[in-house]
Structure 1
Amino acid sequence: MWRKLLKLRDEAYGFFRMEVKDGKSTHFWFDDWLGKRRLIEITGAVGTTYLGLPRRATVNEAVNQNGWAIKGQRSRHHHELYETVVAQPVPAPQLGRDVVLWKHGDDDYRESFSSAKTWDQIRLKKETVGWSKVVWFAQEVPRFSFITWLAVKNRLSTGDRMRIWGMTQCCTLCEEINETKDHLFFACPYSFTVWHSMATRIPESHTDPDWQLTLEHLPEMRAGAMDTILLKMLFQATIYHIWRERNARKHHTGWISTDVTRTLIDKSMRNRISSLKNKARHKYTGLLQKWFLHTM
């Protein structure tokens, strides 16, 4: 692990900057203290000769009693760098110790380290997908969200994917020969019966056997509305319990009717809303009341 961390040194150099105070812990050539990258990268190895400082010199070694003590004033190659250095405040012991700053964003360096800010800068960024708010939202149940995410990305081991591995698997819910993600959610009569009977209790809901149309409809509902939150929670709970029932039948560990599945989904919804209500009593009281009203 330590060897792997050491390999990241060159990348990490771009994230920290030194704020010079006394100059004793800041390397003149190998630390970014001017906001221009490391000086050794700008001048090359020959820069130590032009400015008259050894490679391992610290910033406080570049000053004397009269101020900055570096060469390069008449150098045609590094005159601009010389002017930049001598324009900086002269390090002094009374200013305190040098401060290490970590990059939080473009031209935003702070004394604290943030793993979230660092990851946001090094990760590969892509455009936000339309279904993201259907999968990830504040009221989600993590295991429901994970299965929903797998379904959206078509990573569940449905029959069509298993055929790639040389295995034949029909839909265990309705005996359809070609089991796909689109069939399971919700072209399958079993799953659509469950989804339609539960979702139509919520105003503004739109049920369709077509998976893509269902996925496109949910983000278009009014953001933040309680009915929208309930429908997204219900969508994930339905996917989770349908997938669970499908696997139970596949492995011959059980068989339940659509009525029992609806009861399990309703129980999951009530338990989740009740837990949210306990955490933020006033915020989710209305959510619980709405669900009870829709399921009466």
Structure 2
Amino acid sequence: MWKSLLKLRHLAERFIKSKIGNGANTRFWYDNWTPLGPLLKLLGDSGPRSQRIPVNASVASACNNQGWILAPPRTDAAVSLHMYLSSIPLPSVSDSEDGFDWYVEGKPCGGFSTQMTWDVVRPRDSPKDWASQVWFKGSTPRHAFNMWIAHLDRLPTLTRLASWGLHVNPTCSLCSASPEIRDHLFIDCAFTASIWDLICNRLGYLHQPFSNWSGLMRWSKHRSETAPKVLRLLLVQALVYTVWRQRNNLIHNLQRIPPQTLFKDINRQIINSITARGHMKRFKNLMPLWLR
């Protein structure tokens, strides 16, 4: 464990900062006690020689009652260091001891903070405009996760498996009419289209109002009096999850379930979701709209 922790020193050093008191416990070259960062990184390996301060010296040993005992600066970095040192009180005149704290974005935490540190070091990407259509309040976790993978087009469809070198027939397992890609499997497939027809009829649509995945995502975030946004999101995620489960069931278990039966399953999932979240404002009026 301690060896693993030592490997993280390069990440931790920017968070640990020293508050100088008498300078006795802070290392001049290695510790992070100035806004310039560790001085050995600022001035390089030649810093101790050029400034005539031993590499293991403390901050207290780099000054006396008259001032700092550094050599005259010869580089821009050394000038910056001298300018900073001239703006702070001499440690030799202080009676307090040095203190160390955990700083996140320049603010002391009063000790180590896991949450604040993780928020800084974790990789971040730009916000996605589709995030609210996948991770919305009231979604079913397994539906949302499956929808996330589907939206990124990372589901292992037969076409993708074939592209990886697997010896599989890339034809859609549900209709055997076209290559099994995401847009076909969840929109164009005759099997899935039958389920969409039942859903659209329930919502009052005469025909399927989208023809590709982008159109499906645009449709799901719109709202109307008969089909609020949250109801559309529930339906899209439930259908994607159910169709993908049926596709796997057909491939692995050779069990074909009719579209009408899958629609009944989706209907039950929507009713359960609305019932379980009836206390939430957005779900209170959904049941009459779905069961009309």
TM-score w.r.t. the length of structure 2 is: 0.79
Distance 1:42 1:148, change over 3 A: same
* Deviation, structure 1 residue 141: 2.0
* Deviation, structure 1 residue 113: 4.4
Amino acid at match of 1:154: D
CA contact (8 A) 1:21 1:96 kept: yes
Q: 3-state DSSP class of the match of 1:99? A: strand
Q: Give the Cα–Cα distance (whole angstroms) in 2 for the partners of residues 133 and 61 of structure 1.
A: 57
Counterpart for residue 26 of structure 1: 26
Distance 1:213 1:23, change over 3 A: same
Q: Which residues of 2 match residues 170-189 of structure 1 at below 5 A?
A: 170-189=171-190
Distance 1:286 1:180, change over 3 A: closer
Alignment counterpart, residue 214 of structure 2, candidates 202, 209, 212: 212
Counterpart for residue 8 of structure 1: 8
Distance 1:116 1:252, change over 3 A: same
Q: Give the Cα–Cα distance (whole angstroms) in 1 for the partners of residues 73 and 159 of structure 2.
A: 71
Q: 3-state DSSP class of the match of 1:89? A: coil
Identity of aligned residues (%): 27
* Deviation, structure 1 residue 287: 0.6
Distance 1:174 1:49, change over 3 A: closer
Q: Give the Cα–Cα distance (whole angstroms) in 1 for the partners of residues 254 and 62 of structure 2.
A: 77
Distance 1:169 1:75, change over 3 A: closer
Q: Deviations over 1:172-215 (max 9, x none)?
A: 33232422211111111221232343256458997324223112
- CA-atom RMSD in angstroms: 3.3
Between Structure 1 and Structure 2, how many residues are aligned? 283
- Structure 1: give runs of 5+ residues left out of the alignment: none
Q: Which residues of 2 match residues 122-141 of structure 1 at below 5 A?
A: 122-141=121-140
Q: Give the Cα–Cα distance (whole angstroms) in 2 for the partners of residues 118 and 192 of structure 1.
A: 48
Counterpart for residue 238 of structure 2: 237
* Deviation, structure 1 residue 130: 3.5
Q: Give the Cα–Cα distance (whole angstroms) in 1 for the partners of residues 112 and 239 of structure 2.
A: 41
CA contact (8 A) 1:206 1:214 kept: no
Distance 1:110 1:161, change over 3 A: same
1:291 aligns with 2:287: yes
Q: Give the Cα–Cα distance (whole angstroms) in 2 for the partners of residues 79 and 210 of structure 1.
A: 62
1:158 aligns with 2:154: no
Counterpart for residue 83 of structure 1: 83
Q: Give the Cα–Cα distance (whole angstroms) in 2 for the partners of residues 258 and 177 of structure 1.
A: 18
Q: Deviations over 1:119-178 (max 9, x none)?
A: 554455444344322222232222112211221222222221232311115333323242
- Structure 2: give runs of 5+ residues left out of the alignment: none
